[in-house]
Amino acid sequence: MRSSSDHPVVIVGAGLAGLSCAATLHGAGLPVVVIESSDGIGGRVRTDEVDGFLLDRGFQVLLTAYPELERQFNIDALELEAFDPGALIHTERGEFELGDPLKQPSSLTPTLRTALSQAVGSPGDFVRLLTLRYRLARTGVPTLLRGPDVATIDALVSLGFSSTFINRFFRPLVGGIQLDLGLNTSARMFDTILKMLFSGSAAVPRHGMQTISQQLAQQIPEHLIHLQVPVRSVSSQAVRVDSGEISASSVVIATDGNTAADLLDQPRTTPRSAGCVWFDAPEPPTKRRLIVLDGERSGPVANVAVMSNVSSRYAPPGRHLIAAAAPGYGKADLEQQARAQLTSWWGKAIDGWTTLRVDHIAYGQPDQSPAFSPKRTVEVKEHVFVCGDHRDTGSIQGALYSGRRCANAILNARK
Ligand SMILES: Cc1cc2nc3c(=O)[nH]c(=O)nc-3n(C[C@H](O)[C@H](O)[C@H](O)COP(=O)(O)OP(=O)(O)OC[C@H]3O[C@@H](n4cnc5c(N)ncnc54)[C@H](O)[C@@H]3O)c2cc1C
């Protein structure tokens, strides 16, 4: 086939960035085709039904303050179920609540008790957290993303947080979200994610994270998305697949960062990996809708969430789904290590838990250590565009924004 502007924009990858790009272009009346190598849409945001449980691919949450949600979704139809703000922090002295009394006044007393107990940090750390919250509330995301580009750990130390508070709270919480327990990610990302956590909720759609991907895909006719077709190479105005060549007016590479690097003949980078063990438990270790953080660095699991406390649909009636998330842990003994760790927390009850699945995700998020700058170039060659979380911020927001930004660049180029 010869290429011409009558050909569709061919989008390689049906993750959030590719789907967002496709939906924006289709909405603007441009012909599009999405070519996806795997057996389903959603990329890293997929959910599998296993024995009546809903297992996301790795523990993930949607931060309701992400600006792209309003722009690209019917939020009511996502049926979001929110975690309570804050966390329960597991220490050798027991579990301590660090809530957000500004959002949930009932958490004031337990949070004050935690501050006074000094089990998680000093009262001064709590004051510093409030001060940080105030600064983030007054600063817009574009400014935060242009802020000091130092490692998160260095930023926290220079703000005066004690190592106890960093290790017991920030490391398992933010390190868990950014798949970076070393807290080496740029403070620009840390500030942005923390602002989102403070200003909205952490939530999951009632029927699993994949609802997000499905709602985007519904904006494009189904026959335009081709599954199980790996793209082998791209050139200006065509992509090569096993059965031949697909001509394109423009090509959008919407894969993960390393596949994009391969297709563009550029060097790969080391991504952030993730592990997660999913358990079926007869009784939950807590009835709270709070994430439980490992305040002791007692094993590979940084945080535990009772998913069925947040959305009852995640488990069959009378059962409970536990996600034990182990950012950066890629070893084969994850299940065994997680069981040993959680037994040290909650005792023999863990023996009654059945393992549903162990996830090892090699490419969880792109590395966004300093020097880090989002909004990387969209058009890398004539008619060849790139989008994905590795071009903007390593998050659902970043992928959605990147897809839409890429689509707008294509639309602008045609004006
Ligand atoms: C365990 C885990 C936890 C996370 N936690 C959070 C969180 O709590 N909050 C948050 O905001 N973000 C989180 N993220 C990050 C978020 O999921 C990603 O940033 C986002 O989903 C990336 O979307 P994407 O479209 O850029 O890439 P992807 O989802 O990777 O999509 C790329 C698509 O391209 C396809 N593809 C690859 N190669 C080819 C090829 N050759 N031909 C055709 N198709 C190809 C892939 O199969 C895939 O479908 C987490 C990620 C993981 C893995």
Task: Examine the domain organization and report whether 228 and 299 are in the same domain.
Answer: no
Q: Is 100 part of any domain?
A: no
Buried-state track 97-110, b at ≥16 Cβ within 10 A, e below 16: bbbbbeeeeebeeb
Task: Examine the domain organization and report whether 349 and 278 are in the same domain.
Answer: yes
Q: Is 31 part of any domain?
A: yes
Q: Is 148 part of any domain?
A: no
**How many CB atoms neighbour CB 412 within 10 A?**
8
Task: Examine the domain organization and report whether 302 and 350 are in the same domain.
Answer: yes
Task: Examine the domain organization and report whether 409 and 399 are in the same domain.
Answer: yes
Q: Which amino acid is it at 44?
A: R
Any bridge partners for residue 354, and if so which? 280
Which pLDDT score, from 0 to 100, does residue 1 have?
A: 36
Number of domains in the chain: 2
CB-ligand 1 contact for 61 (6 Å cutoff): yes
Q: Is 224 part of any domain?
A: yes
Of 330, 347, 365, the position where a domain reaches its end is 365
Task: Examine the domain organization and report whether 27 and 66 are in the same domain.
Answer: no
Task: Examine the domain organization and report whether 227 and 360 are in the same domain.
Answer: no
Task: Report residue 412 as tokens.
Answer: 């602008």
CA of 66, closest atom in ligand 1: 11
Which pLDDT score, from 0 to 100, does residue 35 have?
A: 98
CB-ligand 1 contact for 325 (6 Å cutoff): no
Task: Tell me how far CA of residue 13 lies from CA of 18, 97, 275, in angstroms.
Answer: 6, 41, 23
Which pLDDT score, from 0 to 100, does residue 4 have?
A: 58
Q: Rounded to the nearest whole angstrom, what is the distance from the C-alpha of residue 394 to the centroid of ligand 1?
A: 9
Which pLDDT score, from 0 to 100, does residue 415 have?
A: 83
Q: What angle do CA 235, 236, 241 make, to 5 degrees?
A: 35
Task: Tell me which of 20, 365, 400 to substitute to probe ligand 1's pocket, judged by most ligand atoms within 8 Å of the beta carbon.
Answer: 365
Which pLDDT score, from 0 to 100, does residue 3 have?
A: 40
Task: Examine the domain organization and report whether 357 and 333 are in the same domain.
Answer: yes
How many Å apart are CA 136 and CA 144, to the nearest integer? 8
CB-ligand 1 contact for 58 (6 Å cutoff): yes
**SS3 call for 84:** coil
Q: Is 29 part of any domain?
A: yes
Task: Examine the domain organization and report whether 276 and 305 are in the same domain.
Answer: yes
Task: Tell me which of 57, 60, 213 to substitute to probe ligand 1's pocket, judged by most ligand atoms within 8 Å of the beta carbon.
Answer: 60
pLDDT tens-digit profile, the chain (415 residues)? 334 578 999 999 999 999 999 999 999 999 999 999 999 999 999 999 999 999 999 999 999 999 999 999 999 999 999 999 999 999 999 999 999 999 999 999 999 999 999 999 999 999 999 999 999 999 999 999 999 999 999 999 999 999 999 999 999 999 999 999 999 999 999 999 999 999 999 999 999 999 999 999 999 999 999 999 999 999 988 999 999 999 999 999 999 999 999 999 999 999 999 999 999 999 999 999 999 999 999 999 999 999 999 999 999 999 999 999 999 999 999 999 999 999 999 999 999 999 999 999 999 999 999 999 888 899 999 999 999 999 999 999 999 999 999 999 999 998 8
314: domain CATH number?
A: 3.90.660.20
Q: Rounded to the nearest whole angstrom, what is the distance from the C-alpha of residue 315 to the centroid of ligand 1?
A: 24
CB-ligand 1 contact for 365 (6 Å cutoff): yes
Q: Which amino acid is it at 163?
A: S
CB-ligand 1 contact for 300 (6 Å cutoff): no
Task: Examine the domain organization and report whether 235 and 374 are in the same domain.
Answer: yes
CB-ligand 1 contact for 152 (6 Å cutoff): no
Task: Examine the domain organization and report whether 360 and 276 are in the same domain.
Answer: yes
Task: Examine the domain organization and report whether 257 and 377 are in the same domain.
Answer: yes
CB-ligand 1 contact for 256 (6 Å cutoff): yes
Q: Rounded to the nearest whole angstrom, what is the distance from the C-alpha of residue 15 to the centroid of ligand 1?
A: 6
Regarding beta strands 62-63 and 202-205, do their DSSP bridges make them parallel or antiparallel, or are they unpaired?
A: antiparallel
Ligand 1, atom 26, residue with closest C-alpha: 388
E strand intervals along 255-407: 272-281, 291-294, 303-306, 320-327, 354-365, 379-381, 384-386
Q: Give the domain extent around 233.
A: 9-45+209-268+370-413
